[in-house]
Structure 1
């Protein structure tokens, strides 16, 4: 029993890490939020987190990363994505398991070279699966709370895990709040800002209300809070995520969470590059 409990905690931390929250209770609430919309996808999320965490343990990846749930979240996203885009079959199960293992390996490689993986292993894995196996997008119904504005913000949270459901988004916000109230407030602000910007630019109202411009902004906002206290960079990373999302829509590419990754990589590179420039200028002056 003592062995099972810690492992279960690591698995749910993996779910929490999808939104950069290394908290098992947050991860459990994420699973419950998904279950509100789809029990099957909730089961897939947990299975994916188990696969990634177990594979990391079998391969003897760094214990600290395993206990923090860092090898569970990309695998969980792959499992949700595969279950969302493909009908259940033996092939789907194979894709889920192999995809989860591959994403976990990519995560380990990127960490080994001190890169910033975020959800890139999930994006790369799903892109490869899309390239090999023709996809069928499930038509899941929207659930509104009465006004499109509130709906757009809440679904911005749900769409992080392919959940076009406002109640699921509300539970996700609560889950983040349980771990860090500040993160929850900033994430809601990010989703709202993304929706307002998209509205002012006269982009598709259907996409705005469905949270398609907000979910990458939510992830970008949470990630940049861990990088820097500079609030103007928080605004910049949100605007970049919106821009990259729209660009991928125009190019008819599967965006997934890649706009968030591109935005945060740009800001992280800028944070790293600017101090180096300052140091070089100081050296030149002396």
Structure 2
């Protein structure tokens, strides 16, 4: 385990340029880890992509990742994990989500601060207590709490905006990538894909494919004039608007990369991408914003199938013929 510069007192450490650059890189890696990229430049490009459509959410993401870093350093979490941005991505997503749902104010700022700390603590607990990857579960649980607490405490909601009309296929694909961090813009998706590609081109291909598959599967049973819940806002929307916004694609992108990292094979990611769409449609019917819950649940399901298959094959091989 590497030694943190904060472990040894340094004169004027707060103003040390090296320390500031190091911490800035860790903050950006925390944002990069949203797409499994331990890369500060990727994180910077993600922030730029968010800023194109929602500058305040970009600020929320940076502040959230910074709170995650500060919490991890204060509580002396594993320094290797901290430097890799592991304790930044869930809190960064919480910061973005808070300003996605609520306007800045005393209540929303307090929820952001507390939520980012809670998400960081949950990340630490889940990583070291559960025998399987938990991905963005801390973000999901924390943001559900923020969503309902903000409503009950009178935080001012953000206007969901007008539905998209006459959106081209490329824009829909870009939206499917951008919605991982609440961005429904062509530039947001483009910068996200570029950020992933400079870190890992294979991951970029899977992300692109995930958005395409999510779009196609969701469009398969859509009919003209059919309605559906807005995946995140829980408002009645035209099904076509949800597709145009990329709301059926973003969970497929994360599922594809996660399952490829789990098993270097084509079948698990493809299966996960397809299954993520009906799961994405299910979550809002429970009265909960989907967030990245479909990604986590689908990935767990495919992993469970894989582990079950391996166990059955092992028993079959061990039994006498």
Q: Name the CA shift for 1:27/1:241 in 2 (closer, same or farther; >3 Å).
A: same
1:86 aligns with 2:102: yes
Q: Secondary structure at the match of 2:319?
A: helix
- Counterpart in 2 of 1:205? 240
Q: Are 2:159 and 1:138 equivalent residues in the alignment? A: yes
Task: Give the structure with higher Rg (CA).
Answer: 2
Distance 2:150 2:108 in 1: 10
Matched pairs, number:
285
Task: Find the partner of 1:26 among 22, 37, 42.
Answer: 42
Alpha-carbon distance in structure 1 between the residues aligned to 2:90 and 2:83: 15
In structure 2, the partner of 1:120 is: 137
Compute the TM-score of the two structures, normalised by the length of structure 1: 0.94
Structure 2 vs 1, CA of residues 143 and 5 (structure 1 numbering), >3 Å: closer, same or farther?
farther
| CA apart distance, 1:78 | 0.3
Residue 191 (structure 1) aligns with: 211
Contact persistence 2:176–2:211 (CA under 8 A): yes
- Does residue 12 in structure 1 map to residue 28 in structure 2? yes
| Matching of residues 1-286 of structure 1 within 5 Å | 1-113=17-129, 114-134=131-151, 136-140=157-161, 147-202=167-222, 204-285=239-320
Q: Is 2:101–2:147's contact at 8 Å kept on the other side of the alignment?
A: no
CA distances 1:66-109 after superposition (whole Å, capped 9, x unpaired): 01101000000001001110111011111111000000111101
User: 2 CA distance for matches of 1:87 and 1:149?
Assistant: 31
Task: Specify whether residues 98 and 218 from structure 1 end up closer, same or farther in structure 2 by C-alpha distance, changes over 3 A only.
Answer: same
TM-score w.r.t. the length of structure 2 is 0.84
* Structure 2 runs not aligned, ≥5 long: 1-16, 224-238
CA RMSD in angstroms, aligned pairs only: 1.8
Contact 2:107–2:150 (8 Å) recurs in 1 = no
Shift of 1:261: 0.4
Q: Displacement of 1:33 after TM fit? A: 0.6
Q: CA deviation at 1:41?
A: 1.1
Contact 1:84 1:138 survives alignment (8 Å): no
